[in-house]
Amino acid sequence: MSMPDELLPKYITLLSNKSNEKKMEILKSLEKKAANPRDIKMDFALEMVEYLYSEEVAKKTKNHFIQQFVKRDIPDNIQEVGIKKGNVMDIVHTIIPEFSKGEIKRLLKQGGIKFNDDKITDPNFEIEGSGILRIGKKKIFKIIL
């Protein structure tokens, strides 16, 4: 789903097993902005996963995507991280050491870090209790103090 919208027509044209009429219908709806690209991407992804794996795996993958990225629910199998209380900059850097302090500041400024669904913008924000830490759209951790 992280493919750019402008590549979607090429992918559908080259990879989809749908009939040519159906492909043209999809491409026209994209061109006219009559359909949400996310929905078309989801259908395309479902088709590709089903082709490569199975219908069952495709359905599970779709449900997981909807749960995590559309509904913003917390997955059941998130990583638990035991830490000492501290500021968000140090905690994020401890959890994801490959993030530089500059990247973390940029994420904070853009509202990309949340603790218990509250956006954190202050790099000196102190995390003093257990909860759910979201870093960007894909990284979710259960913080245990």
- pLDDT tens digit string along 51-82? 999 999 999 988 888 887 777 777 777 899 99
Is residue 112 classed as helix, strand or coil in its secondary structure?
Answer: coil
Give the pLDDT confidence of 31-53 residue by residue, as tens digits: 998 989 989 999 999 999 999 99
CA distances, 143 to each of 29, 124, 128 (Å): 43, 17, 10
**H helices within 16-115, ranges in order?**
20-31, 37-52, 55-65, 88-95, 101-109
pLDDT at 56: 95
pLDDT at 1: 54
Question: 79 has which bridge partners?
Answer: 141
Using a cut of 0.75, tell me whether the model's pTM lies above it: no
